Amino acid sequence: MADKLKPEEKASITVGEAKGKAMTYTIAIVDEGLLDLTRFKTPDPHGAFYAREALGVKTWDLFDYVIGAYGANLERILSIGGDEGLNKNASAAKANRFKPVVKFMGPFHLKKGEKQTHEFQLPPYIGSVKAMVVAGYEGAYGRAEKAVAVKKPLMILTSMPRVLGPTETAQVPVTVFGLEPHVRTVNVTIAPNALFDVVGERTKTVTFDKPGEQLVYFDVQVRPQAGVGKVTFTATSGKEKAEETVELVVRNPNPYISNVIEAAVEPGQTWNTNYTPVGMAGTNTGVLEVSSIPPLNLGKRMNYLIQYPHGCVEQTTSSVFPQLFLSSITELSPNRQAEIDKNIKAGISRLKTFQLSDGGLGYWPGASESDEWGTNYAGHFMLEAQQRGYALPAGFLDQWKKYQKNKAVAWTVNSNNFYGADLDQSYRLYLLALAKSPEMGAMNRLKEFQYLSVPAKWRLAAAYQLAGQPEAANALIKGLGTEVKPYKQLGGTFGSDLRDRAMILEVLTLMKQRSAAGTLLRQVAAELSKDSWYSTQTTAYALIAIAKYCGDNKPGSTMSASYQLNGTSGNLNSATYVAQVPVTFRGTAEGNAAVTNRSKGLLFVRLILEGQPAAGENPYASNDPEILAMNVEYKTRAGKAIDPTILRQGTDFVATVTLRNPGKRGYYEQMALTQVFPSGWEIINTRLMGNDSAVRVSPYTYQDIRDDRVYTYFNLEESKTVTYQVLLNAAYTGRYYLPATAAEAMYDNNIHAFVPGKWVEVTK
C-alpha cells in the first residue's frame, strides 16, 4: 500500500501470503484517531486461539451485590452521559456531524501463490488511517497492518458549533493548509443550504509566501426555521481543490405548545374553522381528529409522550406502551405503522439497559437498586409486546419473572411503603398471571389484607381472572365501586386518581363487564379531552385502557364524514373509533378546516395544532417561590460574578443553579433540572476530565450531559437547598440565544420554577 494517500482519489491495497499459501482474509481501513480512542489493536486470532490456558478453576464473587452499596458515588464516574441519543421527538431530523472513516472489505479468498489488489476511495478527510488485514485458513491464522498518512497539497479544516438555533449569528473560522510550494493564492468559498444566510462576502482569498496555514472567517446567520443545516466550504488554487461539508442540527430549544379547536357535530351538520399555525415555521405539526366516542385528545396526548425530554424507566415505557394499541383506536397508514414499529423496537432495546443483576429494572440506567413500579410497568409492556410478535432480549423475561416471584413471596407492608404497596403487589401478581406463572399463595395472602385499597382489589381480581379463578375474581369486586379519591404521587407508583380509574377500566374490559366499562370509558375520555396537564404515567395508562376497551368492543357502525383542509377534500369512512388526517401548512399563513358529519350519530371533531415558539419568546408559566425557589448565577472559576450576555471568546466560567424547597408542599421526589445552553458555549464535561475544584454539585440520582444541555434529576427534602454547577467555555464568536432554565417535578406540574432566556454574545 502507498505510504501516502489523497482523500477523494482512488487508491489500492495489495494482499498476499508471505510464503504463497492460500488463505481467506478481510480488510479494515480505519481512522487512527478512532482506534486510539478505544486502544484498538489489529486482532491476533492466532494468539487468541492458540493461547496457553490457565488451570480451569471456576470461581464466583459477590461483586454485583457489594458494588451497589457504593453506587451513588461510582455512577458519577462511570455513567459518562450523552447516552440518551434516542431523541424521542417524533420524526426529528438528525444531523450526522461526525462521519467516521471506516471501510471494511471482504471476506476474500486467495489461491496458492496469488496476490489480490483491491481499490477504494477515502472520503474528504485529513489525518492518518490504519489498514488491517486478518487472515485464516485450515487452522492457521495471521495478521498485518500499515499506517498511512492522508493528505494533499491543499486542505481546509472548519470549526462550527455542535448545534445552532433559529436567528442566531455565528462566525465560522476556516483553517487553510497550503502544504506545497506551488500553492500560492487560495480562494475559499462558503455555500450553505436554505437554513443559512451568509453575512458579507461568500468568497475570501489568502496568499501563501511559503507552506503553512492561514485563517479566514465567514459570518452566517440562521434563518427563522429548524432542521438539518449543511454548509460546504471549498478552497481552490490552480488545479488543487479541497472541500469540506459540515452538517449540524438547527434546533429550537423551546418546549412545544399546543392549541386545540374542538366541536361536536350533529348528523348532517358541517363544522368550519379558520386556524393559525402554532409556533415557528418548521416546527408546526397538526392533526384533524374525528371520533365517535368522547374526544381523547389522542394526537396531543401521544405527541406529549413521544416528545417528553426525560427518559427514566417509567417515561421510556410510557412513550411506547400506548403505541402497541393505537391500531385498536384509529386506522394507521403503512408509514405510521412502520414508524410505530421502529419506536417499539427501540423502546424494547432501551428498557433492557435498565435491567439489573437481580432481574428488576432500575429507575435510571446504572441504578444500584430496582424500582418496583418501574419493574412492573416495563415488564407489562414487554409481555404485551411479546404477545404482539415482538422479540424480547434473550433472558430478559426469565430474569424479570424470577425477581417478581421473589418479591411477591416476600412481600410485607411497613410504614415506608404503606401507601401504594398493595397496588404494587397486586399489579405484580396480575403480571405473573399474565405471564402464565401465577403465584396463588401470595394472591390469597393479599386478598386477606384488611386495608386493601379499591384499585388494588380490582387489579387482584384481574389476577384471579387470568389465573383461571373467575369465581374468586367476581367475589372480590362484588359491589365494589370505581371511584378513587383525588391524589397525585411524585414517587412510588407515580399514580393519580385518573391513572387508577384507567386501571379499573382495563380490569372491567378484561372481565367482560361491558356496561360498567363503557360508563368508565366516557369518564376517562372526558378527562383526557380537557386541557389539563397529566403526567406521563397517567396519560399513557389512560390511553392504554381506552385502547384495550376499543379493541375488545368494536364500533356498532362505520364512522362516516367528509373534510376539507386548505382546499384539499377527502372522506373519512372508518370502522374504528378515531380517524386522523395530518394537517399540511403553508408557511405561517392562516388555514381553513371543515368537517361534515355523514354518520347517524354525533361526531367529535378536534383540530390539534402544535409548535415551538421562536427564540426570545417565553412559553413558561409564572414562578411561585413559596413552592420552589430557584436562582441562576454565572461566575468565573475563581467565584467572581460575571455577566453572561457578553463574554470574551475562550473564557471558562461556571453556571450555578440553586434550588430550595420551602417545605409547604412536603418532600419533592423525581425533580428534573433542565439547562440548555447557547450554541456558542461548550460544556466542559468534568466527569470525563476528572473532578474540577471550580465545580460544586449536590447529590443527584442521575445526570445526562449532551452536546448543548444538561439534565439533572434529584429529590429535594423539605426546607433543603441543592446546588448544581456546570463548567462552560465561550467557544464560538457570535450572537446566540440562552434558553430558559427550568426545574420541575416530573409527576406534578404545579411544582416548577423558571428563569427566562435571553440573548448573549461571544466576542473576540
Q: Which residues pair with 133 in a beta bridge?
A: 27, 144
Q: Quick one: 299 and 275 in the same domain?
A: no
Per-residue pLDDT at 88: 40
Beta strand 240-250 with 163-164 is parallel
**Strand, helix or coil for residue 553:** coil
**What does the pLDDT look like over 660-672, one tens digit per residue?**
999 988 999 999 9
Grid cell listed for 142: 495471521
Residue 172 has pLDDT above 60, yes or no: yes
Per-residue pLDDT at 688: 59
Grid cell listed for 512: 367482560
Residue 589 has pLDDT above 90, yes or no: no
Distances (CA, A) of 72 to 324, 353, 425, 723: 35, 18, 27, 17
End-to-end CA distance of the chain: 45
pLDDT interval class at 78 (50, 70, 90): very low
Close Cβ partners of 421 (under 8 Å, ≥ 6 residues apart)? 411, 413
Determine contact, residues 251/166, Cβ cutoff 8 Å: no
Residue among 670, 663, 657 nearest 627 (CA) = 663
Amino acid at 540: A
Backbone conformation region of residue 420, classed left if phi is above 0, alpha if psi is from -120 to 50, else beta: left
User: Which CATH number characterizes residue 507's domain?
Assistant: 1.50.10.20
Domain assignment present for 86: yes
**Which residue is associated with the grid cell 471506516?**
102
Q: At CA 92, angle to CA 86 and CA 96, rounded to 5?
A: 70
Rounded CA separation 68/542 (Å) = 35
More confident residue, 722 or 567: 722
Q: Quick one: 168 and 38 in the same domain?
A: no
Rounded CA separation 164/249 (Å) = 7
Per-residue pLDDT at 700: 93
Q: Quick one: 656 and 685 in the same domain?
A: yes
Residue 693 has pLDDT above 70, yes or no: no
Rounded CA separation 656/697 (Å) = 9
Per-residue pLDDT at 89: 40
Residue 76 has pLDDT above 60, yes or no: no
Beta strands in 183-226 (DSSP E): 185-192, 196-199, 203-207, 212-222
What's the mean pLDDT in 393-416?
Answer: 89
Q: Quick one: 137 and 221 in the same domain?
A: no
Rounded CA separation 163/97 (Å) = 10
C-alpha 737: how far from its chain's center?
Answer: 23
Rounded CA separation 462/473 (Å) = 7
**What does the pLDDT look like over 89-111, one tens digit per residue?**
433 445 665 678 899 998 999 99
Residue among 758, 744, 682 nearest 713 (CA) = 744
Longest dimension (CA), the chain: 95
Residue 419 has pLDDT above 80, yes or no: no
Rounded CA separation 505/520 (Å) = 6
What's the mean pLDDT in 203-231?
Answer: 92
**What does the pLDDT look like over 312-349, one tens digit per residue?**
999 999 999 999 999 888 888 888 899 999 999 999 99
Per-residue pLDDT at 577: 85
Residue 493 has pLDDT above 90, yes or no: yes
Q: Quick one: 243 and 263 in the same domain?
A: no
From 584, 611, 638, the end of a domain falls on 611
Q: Quick one: 397 and 535 in the same domain?
A: yes
From 197, 217, 250, the end of a domain falls on 250
What's the mean pLDDT in 537-545?
Answer: 95
Per-residue pLDDT at 96: 60
Rounded CA separation 499/506 (Å) = 11
User: Which CATH number characterizes residue 575's domain?
Assistant: 2.60.120.380
Mean per-residue pLDDT of the chain: 88
Per-residue pLDDT at 687: 65
What's the mean pLDDT in 169-191?
Answer: 93
Grid cell listed for 677: 445552553
Range of 427's domain? 293-554
Domain assignment present for 300: yes
Determine contact, residues 215/190, Cβ cutoff 8 Å: no
Q: What's the half-sphere exposure (Cβ side, CA atoms, 13 Å) at 510?
A: 24
Close Cβ partners of 239 (under 8 Å, ≥ 6 residues apart)? none
- Give the H or E element holding residue 737: strand 734-738
Q: What percent of the chain has pLDDT over 70?
A: 92
Per-residue pLDDT at 79: 40
Q: Quick one: 748 and 667 in the same domain?
A: yes
Rounded CA separation 518/537 (Å) = 22
Close Cβ partners of 62 (under 8 Å, ≥ 6 residues apart)? none
Q: Quick one: 214 and 341 in the same domain?
A: no
More confident residue, 337 or 38: 337
Per-residue pLDDT at 53: 77
Domain assignment present for 622: no
Burial class (CB in 10 A: 0-12, 13-18, 19+), 324: buried
Domain assignment present for 623: no
HEC secondary structure over 399-466: HHHHHHHHHHHHCCCCCCCHHHHHHHHHHHHHHHHHCCCCCHHHHHHHHCCCCCCHHHHHHHHHHHHH
Q: What is the pTM (predicted TM-score) of this model?
A: 0.81
Q: Quick one: 134 and 179 in the same domain?
A: no
pLDDT interval class at 179 (50, 70, 90): confident
Q: What percent of the chain has pLDDT over 90?
A: 60
From 250, 272, 306, the end of a domain falls on 250
**What does the pLDDT look like over 270-325, one tens digit per residue?**
999 998 888 887 788 899 989 887 777 788 888 899 889 899 999 999 999 999 99
Rounded CA separation 9/122 (Å) = 7
Per-residue pLDDT at 94: 59
Distances (CA, A) of 695 to 326, 655, 705, 740: 46, 9, 15, 21
Domain assignment present for 92: yes
Per-residue pLDDT at 707: 86
User: Which CATH number characterizes residue 640's domain?
Assistant: 2.60.40.690
Residue 259 has pLDDT above 80, yes or no: yes
Q: Quick one: 198 and 229 in the same domain?
A: yes
Close Cβ partners of 678 (under 8 Å, ≥ 6 residues apart)? 165, 168, 736, 737, 738, 739, 760
User: Which CATH number characterizes residue 225's domain?
Assistant: 2.60.40.10
Domain assignment present for 22: yes
Q: Quick one: 308 and 273 in the same domain?
A: no
Per-residue pLDDT at 552: 83
More confident residue, 104 or 67: 104
Rounded CA separation 608/257 (Å) = 11
What's the mean pLDDT in 508-519?
Answer: 92
pLDDT interval class at 496 (50, 70, 90): very high
Structural domains in the chain (count)? 5
Grid cell listed for 292: 365517535
Domain assignment present for 13: yes
Residue 697 has pLDDT above 60, yes or no: yes
Domain assignment present for 617: no
Q: Quick one: 387 and 481 in the same domain?
A: yes
